[in-house]
Structure 1
Amino acid sequence: MTRPHDMGGRYGDGPVVPEPETLLFHAEWHKRALAITLAAGAHGKWNLDVSRHAREGLAPADYARFSYYEKWIAALADLLIESDLVSRDELAGAAAAAAPMAETTLRAEAVADVLAKGGPATRPSNVEQRFQPGDPVRTRRIAANTLVDGGHTRLPQYAAGATGRVIRYHGTHVLPDSSAHRLGDAAEPLYAVAFPATELWSHPEHPRDEVILDLWQSYLEPA
């Protein structure tokens, strides 16, 4: 499976142009796209990692040409059909059948409380903590999901095989590589790992810079 979303360190995409922090949406429909995505997720048919994987699974040509919220809507359509919440005919404009999940609909008056609670990903785990802050570590040489061929992973390609040091232990968290494929939480230790710019880039503009990534224990080995 190609990974068109894994763009870090890739050449040819042009410069990153920062936007004003006050600019949250480029168009009015972007607000609706966000609201519909959150409301649909409230039915509990998928989790955050499943939704991320759905966006990554878009056809590479579509992923390249879609805007940010077009990716959200395209992936949401796939999830709605996959979860039997909506049929292809209904998406095409046919009359909707009786709503099977009406009782779990996220009402407008409940949105603020739901968002305030968030969705913590901390979970208990029987996987023993292997590293401590200050330990040198190396990421897997190949940034791939070891549970599902071509599956979701949070190890970026540009950091594969890189050496860094642990700067913080976050506790045990849901492993996205498992959760994105509905294989269970598979919680394991999560660390913040600092990598020198010189370890990641051939010609860093500022060689003394560091990049800090949150990485799961199964992505790492002692350096």
Structure 2
Amino acid sequence: MTRVHDMGGRFGDGPVVPEAADAPVFAEDWHARALAVTLACGALGQWNIDTSRHARERLSPQDYSRFSYYEKWIAALADLLVEKDVLTREDLQGKGAAGLHALAERALTAKNAAAALAKGGPADRQGGPKPRFNPGQAVRARLPADNALVDGGHTRLPQYAAGARGYILRMHGTHVFPDSSAHGLGEAPEPLYAVRFPARVLWAHAEHPGDEVVLDLWQSYLEPL
């Protein structure tokens, strides 16, 4: 089934218009605040990056289509805060109970923000299944592109690559598997590969048939040829 957020290579959405080189980092002041609030809430430890991505994907098609980038962030964050029992709808409306929140000690303060951002959230892991593929090997991306663990769940396999033949470019090591991590099923780390696909394989009328697209794909997304 077509996913509203899975827009890569889709026709009809109009051209991609790059920003000017001298464009400000944030087009509006509230965009910076949206980023800050999202990062601060993520630091509470109630969800992971894959969960937050799936929250944006689960916005209604109507909202997803009309919201701007940071409106999607804020709308999904509000949903997560309620779903994870961090806040209530009344809290979001400014009508919640007063007093110190149970997670107050985990709040990301301004003085700790730079260190937290520098630390990041590495997703590489030890262990997991052994690599099945080697550089240069031909593979096919799984068809369909849906999450095989959760119906309608999060996945990083784009629809336009499903069923396409590509070639292993390199292996990135073993990384957290987002299809599992997004749904509280554990990190389930898998080998992650850079896979190159000729543009003519992905699209019937590629503007530049000699171009290639390189996708980072987990092992269970791929089948040997």
| Count of residue correspondences | 223
Give the superposition deviation at 1:10.
Answer: 1.2
Name the aligned partner's letter for residue 93 of structure 1.
G
Residue 122 of structure 2 is aligned to residue 134 of structure 1:
no
Residue 8 of structure 2 is aligned to residue 13 of structure 1:
no
TM-score (norm 1): 0.97
5+ long unaligned stretches in structure 1: none
In the alignment, the residues of structure 2 paired with residue 183 and residue 117 of structure 1 have an alpha-carbon distance, to the nearest angstrom, of: 25
After superposition, residues 2-81 of structure 1 pair within 5 angstroms as: 3-23=3-23, 24-81=25-82
Q: CA 1:119/1:210 → structure 2, altered by over 3 Å: closer, same or farther?
A: same
- Retained in 2: the 8 A contact 1:2–1:60? no
TM-score (norm 2): 0.96
Deviations 1:169-212 (A, max 9, x none): 00000000000001000000000000000010111111100000
Q: Which residue of 2 aligns with 1:143?
A: 145
Give the superposition deviation at 1:75.
Answer: 0.3
After superposition, residues 102-117 of structure 1 pair within 5 angstroms as: 102-117=104-119
Q: Which residue of 2 aligns with 1:171?
A: 173
Q: Which residue of 2 aligns with 1:188?
A: 190
What SS class does the counterpart of residue 156 from structure 2 fall into? Answer: coil
What SS class does the counterpart of residue 51 from structure 2 fall into? Answer: helix
Deviations 1:85-123 (A, max 9, x none): 111011112144331101000010000000001100011
- Retained in 2: the 8 A contact 1:132–1:166? yes
Deviations 1:138-173 (A, max 9, x none): 001210000000100000000000001011100000
Q: CA 1:144/1:21 → structure 2, altered by over 3 Å: closer, same or farther?
A: farther
Deviations 1:45-64 (A, max 9, x none): 00000000000000010000
What SS class does the counterpart of residue 5 from structure 2 fall into? Answer: coil
- Retained in 2: the 8 A contact 1:192–1:213? yes
- Retained in 1: the 8 A contact 2:147–2:154? yes
- Retained in 2: the 8 A contact 1:153–1:177? yes
Tell me how large the CA RMSD over aligned residues is: 1.1
Name the aligned partner's letter for residue 209 of structure 1.
D
Q: CA 1:60/1:67 → structure 2, altered by over 3 Å: closer, same or farther?
A: same
- Retained in 1: the 8 A contact 2:142–2:162? yes
What SS class does the counterpart of residue 15 from structure 2 fall into? Answer: coil
- Retained in 1: the 8 A contact 2:128–2:174? no
Name the aligned partner's letter for residue 28 of structure 1.
D
Q: Which residue of 2 aligns with 1:199?
A: 201
What SS class does the counterpart of residue 112 from structure 1 fall into? Answer: helix
5+ long unaligned stretches in structure 2: none
- Retained in 2: the 8 A contact 1:137–1:221? yes
